[in-house]
Structure 1
Amino acid sequence: MHARCLVVSLASSWWYRSLAVCAMLALSATQSSVARADGAFTLTSANLRAGGTVPTAQVFDQNDCKGGNHSPQLTWRDAPAGTRGFAITMFDEDAPGRGWWHWAVAGIPATVDSLPENASSSGFLKKLGAVEARNDFDTDGYGGPCPPPGKPHRYIITVYALNAVDLRLAQGRPALMFDHEIGTASIGSARLVVNYGR
C-alpha cells in the first residue's frame, strides 16, 4: 500500500511539474508576441487621421488652393534598433506622371520623436539642423495638397529610420535626390496615408 501511494505521489508530482512548465512556455510565448506587437514602428498625427481628409490648415496656399500650408504635427514611436537619425517625405502617388513630391526633410536627430505643426515654415527644423528638399511646387520645404479638381488624391507621409547621420544632402536639392539618399540609409519606415480632393 505504501509503495502504491508512492507511485501515485510521484506520478502526481511529475504531472504538476509538466503542467507548470507548459504554463511557463505559454506565458513566455504570449509575452514575446505582445513585445513584438508593441514594438512596431508607428507614425501618428494630431492633425491627420489615416484614411481621412487633409484639413485646410495643411492645404497649399497658392493659385486655386487657399490653405494654411502648415506641415502636419507628426509623432513616431518604436524606431528600430540602430537608428541614428530620421527623414520624412510626403508624396502624391495619384498625380499624373511620376507623382508629386510635397515634402522631403532629412537630418532629424535620433533623439527627436515628434515634430510640431508648421515645423517647416516656423524654423523648427532648421534649429534641429535638418535640411529640406525643393518640392515639386519649386519651393523649399513643405507644400501642401493642391490637386486638380476631380477625384481625391492619396498623400503618403513616411517617416524613415536611418542608419546614417550625414546623407550628403543640402537645403533646396530636389526631393527626388532626397528620396534616393534616404532609401540608401533606411532601416525601417512607418507611414500615414491621407486624402484630399477639390
Structure 2
Amino acid sequence: MVVSSVFKDKEFIPKKYTCEGQDVNPELVISNIPDGAKTIAIICDDPDAPIGTFVHWVLWNYPVNGPIVNIPEALPKVEKLQNGAMQGYNDFGKVGYNGPCPPKGHGVHHYHFKIYAVNSLIELKGKVTKKELEKALSGRILAQTEIVGLYERK
C-alpha cells in the first residue's frame, strides 16, 4: 500500500510538485511490505501524454529497513542517494524526479506512481531509463502497488 501526505489516490497533485511549482517529488509512505523485500523501486509515468507514456521518475534500490518505508519529499536530483538508492533518467532527459507538466489545455493527466517491493539489489550502470529498470525488475518483484495523482495546466 502507498499513500502520500500531499495528495490522495485519484486526486490532484499540488502545484508545488509540478513544473509550475518547485518540481520536487512528493512524500510517499509505503506499508504492507512483504517479508523478503530488500528494496523499493518506483516508476512514475503519465500515459496521457500526447507522445505516448511519458516517464517522470525512475528510482530503485531504496532500502527496506522495516515494515514501513518513507520516501521523503524533495530527494536530491542525483544518480546515487546517500542511502544507496539510485535514480535514473526521466523523459525530460534529467536524473531524478520531474513532476507533472502536461501541455496547456490538454486536459487532466494521470500520474501513476508505481511502487515495487523487490527481493534483491539491482545492479544497473549507465544512463538507466524506465525500460532498463523494468527489464531488471523481471522475476524480482514480490509485490506492487500504485497511487495515481491528477494534474492539468490551463
Would the TM-score normalized by the shorter structure come out above 0.5?
yes
1:18 is matched with which residue? none
Q: Which residue of the other structure, out of 128, 134, 137, is the alignment partner of 2:89? A: 134
Larger radius of gyration: 1
Distance 1:159 1:101 in 2: 14
Taking structure 1 as the reference length, the TM-score comes to: 0.70
Question: In the TM superposition, what is the alpha-carbon distance from 1:96 to its structure 2 partner?
Answer: 2.8
Query: Over the residues paired in the alignment, what is the CA RMSD in angstroms?
Result: 1.7
Give the secondary structure class of the aligned counterpart of 1:57: helix
**1:143-180 Cα shifts (integer Å, max 9, x gaps):** 10001122111000011100111x22136412221222
Q: What is the aligned-residue identity percentage?
A: 26
Higher strand share: 2
Structure 1 residues 1-198: aligned runs within 5 Å? 42-60=1-19, 66-111=20-65, 113-121=69-77, 126-149=81-104, 150-165=106-121, 167-170=122-125, 172-198=127-153
Distance 1:160 1:104 in 2: 12
Q: Which runs of 5+ in 1 are unaligned?
A: 1-41, 61-65
> Which amino acid is 1:155 matched to?
Y
Aligned pair count reads: 149
Greater RCO between the two (CA within 8 Å, min separation 6)?
Answer: 2
Distance 2:125 2:64 in 1: 19
* 4+ residue segments displaced more than 3 Å: none
Distance 1:53 1:141 in 2: 21
Q: Which runs of 5+ in 2 are unaligned?
A: none
- Conserved in 2, the CA contact under 8 Å of 1:95 and 1:147? yes
Distance 1:98 1:176 in 2: 14
Higher helix share: 1
